[in-house]
Amino acid sequence: MKIKKAYIQHFKIPFKEPILGQDPYKEGFYFVCETDTGKKGIGELSTYRGLHPHDAKALKNEIEYVADQFLNQTLQFEKFCPHSPLFNLVVIQDIDPRLLFCVEGALLDLMVGSSLFHDSQPEIQALIIPGRPLPKKLSRINKIKIGKLHFNDEIDFLRNLPGQLRLDSNKSISAKMVRDYWEALGEKIDYFEDPFPFSSKWVELAKDGIPMALDEDFVDYLDHDLTFLKALIIKPNLLPGIHNTFKLIDKLKTPLVVSSTFESKVGIRTLRRITQYKGFKYKTLHGLGTLHYLEDH
């Protein structure tokens, strides 16, 4: 199978309502490659301010270089390795690591039907942002941003939401407040995500039966014992390549929840494919329910 076309497409999709600290739209590039057998792969190059240290628009020359290098390459499926850059399928000299999520996402499209992936569709948690309309479709477990309302009003609001909740405060509450939420809501809480900076207090809370989950910062603590956590939140678009996500899936014993950074349909499709990787040894709901915040979904 040979690459016959490779090119980029610019996209710019408005948010339905502004997201704090972000531009009023999602902007970036799609990397597209087509083979001589009629297959097409598409990956998304986009960024989220506050999480990515760079801007996707600044990488136009780099992604154009990759498109030029892709042309006429024969995909080397016999050398495939899920843990290697570009999965060993193609050779690109000096590729910028910031492009790997995008380019490897396109390569995943070309591997549809591979025995490396299962066919079942992932279960998706909805994302609830207080002050915004509720998603039309909620799941049995949903994620909600907390700490925006008076505590008693917030507890009343949370009690009336269906299913279990994953409470995300973006490091804005204390250990005492975690205990207060737990006392008020108990097992309605699936876990607390990143309530305050990671410390020994997390272990103390977990020992008391309070479920805790560490966000994408967990990659800074891989030398720690993280098995006391209920989940680790992984944002593949922040890592240098999907192959590194596959490495972590195969290495770690704590369940991983794949999470988006408000990607468009193309990026969400890539993230869904990652959840179908056969290295996953557990079932969980993934954090991919963000498309309804974009106009074009």
Distance CA 207, CA 186 (A): 15
Integer angstrom CA distances of residue 143 from 39, 50, 218, 260: 36, 20, 19, 12
127, 105: one domain = no
* Angle in degrees, 0-180, between the axes of helices 265-275 and 100-109, rounded to the nearest 10: 70
- CATH number for the domain harbouring residue 81: 3.30.390.10
Structure confidence by residue, pLDDT tens digits, 219-265: 999 999 999 999 999 999 999 999 999 999 999 999 999 999 999 99
Domain finish residue from 53, 83, 109 = 109
Among 28-32, 75-79, 126-130, 190-194, which stretch is predicted with the lowest mean pLDDT? 126-130
Least confident of 85-89, 136-140, 175-179: 136-140
Whether 115 is in a domain gets the answer no
Q: Does residue 173 share a domain with residue 70? A: no
DSSP calls for 154-169? HHHHHHTSSSEEEEE-
What is the pTM for the complete model shown?
0.94
Phi and psi dihedrals of 157, rounded to 5?
-65, -45
Residues 104 and 131 in one domain: no
Mean per-residue pLDDT, 173-195: 97
d(CA 79, CA 76): 6
Residue 224 belongs to domain spanning? 123-293
The pLDDT score that the predictor gives to residue 176 is: 97
45 bridge partner residues: 29
* Domain assignment of residue 152, yes or no: yes
Q: What's the residue count for the chain? A: 297
Judge whether residue 72 has pLDDT over 80.
Answer: yes
Q: Are 139 and 94 within one domain?
A: no
Which residues is 33 bridged to in the sheet? 6, 41
Element (H, E) at 200: helix 200-207
pLDDT given at position 297: 56
Q: What's the number of domains the chain is made of?
A: 2
Q: What's the confidence (pLDDT) of residue 88?
A: 96
